[in-house]
Amino acid sequence: MAATHDYDLIVIGAGSGGVRLSRMSAGRGAKVAVIENRYLGGTCVNVGCVPKKLFVYSAHAMHEMEDAAGYGWKVPLEQVRFDWPTLVANKNSEIERLNGIYRRILEGPGVTVIEGSATFVDANTLKVGDQTITADKICIATGSWPMIPEIPGHDLILSSNEMFYLPQLPGKAVVWGGGYIAVEFAGILAGLGVDTTLIYRGDLFLRGFDEDVRRFTADEIAKKGVKLKFGVTLHSVAHSDSGYLLHLSDGTTMETGLVMAATGRRAMTDGLGIESVGVKVTATGHIEADSQFRTSVPSIYAIGDVIGTPQLTPVALAQGMALSRNLFGDGQGSVDYANIPTAVFCQPNIGTVGLTEDVARADGHRLKIFRSEFKPMKHTLSGRDERSMMKIIVDADTDRVLGVHMVGPDAGEIIQGMAVAVKMGATKADFDATVGIHPTSAEEFVTMREAVSEDQWQ
């Protein structure tokens, strides 16, 4: 291969999708280079799911110490002190370790790692610094980047990227947004002792999730100390004696020590020069790509967040595997976007797979709804006022399980197993015939027998 070009494939971006595509293609005998201008591992490893999960673990620690009293442990909570710089330093060490692993993952099968920013010269040529390189095929896997609305004082607002490197925690913080990133960071800050308020323009956060999940989660995270202000948005930010003065859309003001925006992410195509080679973009600014990840230019492909598919690491990984198979394998690679499970690492966690109740009904299904709310066994002795909720959405005519949703401890871990069943087309009878593991929360999914509601045809 690579007879007329320097490489068979050049991948721009060494995030989850780019790394998977690069190393699998090299393993199939292709000559591959990957270009990265920031950090190996992309958003997930460096300023996304990995460090966020580590912060979530830390935010849980104080609750664990408080809960220990009910189990006979005498923990002198007045002597407990949290040190934010220690957490950040330990997190940084872990990320550096992972960066090294990613480099070895790439270099092992012979991928050339080029550090720098790439710009298109033509459909087969890129310029990186003073270097010009060519490839038979080029894949854009540059991911996404946080967006902060340009309100007055927007330069004083932090994104999720900066939150991972704060020198110190403030006493008070405001998180602006209603998606999973906003909800997760509000829980992290509150769990670490910060007086935290989440503001969101809608009447309820987590749009797109099941309505029961949204309402139940709002109640539970409020118990954990997150102050929720719905139906309001941020108009401006300015310096004040105590930090920052916020003017809100309802005419009120707030004083805080930190403002974080989690108000959306945009496709990261800055400086690539895709317009000069004719790569089309959608109305949302994402690169236009078909189901085989082909752009409007025959030699250029794109995968991951940059094409506007679900912004999840496993989705980018699946796309990288599919494209490598298409380009250098048997040509049969594809990605099925139905029934993708996901989790929100708020406190308690959310785990979900399949259709929400509203979407299932809008799709024409007649539904049976099974739902259970209960206090997790752990809190019978801890005394904590925390409850879990589980919900199964069933097609009343076929008995097929259309969606499974949970709010509670380890919801993500539990829903991963449920996702296999949903993907295979399991019925409610299959759930009912499965023996539970006792005593666990997860067994509730196979012991719910009575529907809380059933649609009737009009």
Residues whose CB is less than 8 angstroms from the CB of residue 441 and which lie 6 or more positions away in sequence, other chains included: 376, 377, 388, 390, 408, 409, 410, 414
- Residues 138, 224 contacting (CB under 8 angstroms): no
HSE value, Cβ hemisphere, 13 Å, CA-based, for 50 = 21
Whose structure tokens read 């206090």? 375
CA distances from 364 to 357, 359, 361, 382, 457 (A): 11, 9, 5, 44, 11
Residues whose CB is less than 8 angstroms from the CB of residue 116 and which lie 6 or more positions away in sequence, other chains included: 35, 37, 128, 129, 131
**Alpha-carbon torsion angle 358, 347, 264, 251, nearest 10:** 90
Q: What is the DSSP string of 150-202?
A: --TTGGG-B-HHHHTT-SS--SEEEEE--SHHHHHHHHHHHHTT-EEEEEESS
- Of 60, 121, 69, 40, the residue nearest 409 (C-alpha): 60
Give the whole-angstrom CA distance, residue 89 versus residue 54.
12
- Residues 145, 17 contacting (CB under 8 angstroms): no
Please state the three-class secondary structure of 95-112 as a single string: HHHHHHHHHHHHHCCCCE
Catalytic residue set: 438
Q: What is the DSSP string of 422-437?
A: HHTT-BHHHHHTSPPP
- Of 61, 51, 142, 137, the residue nearest 94 (C-alpha): 51
Structure tokens at 153: 């004082």
- Of 268, 237, 209, the residue nearest 15 (C-alpha): 268
Give the whole-angstrom CA distance, residue 201 versus residue 183.
14
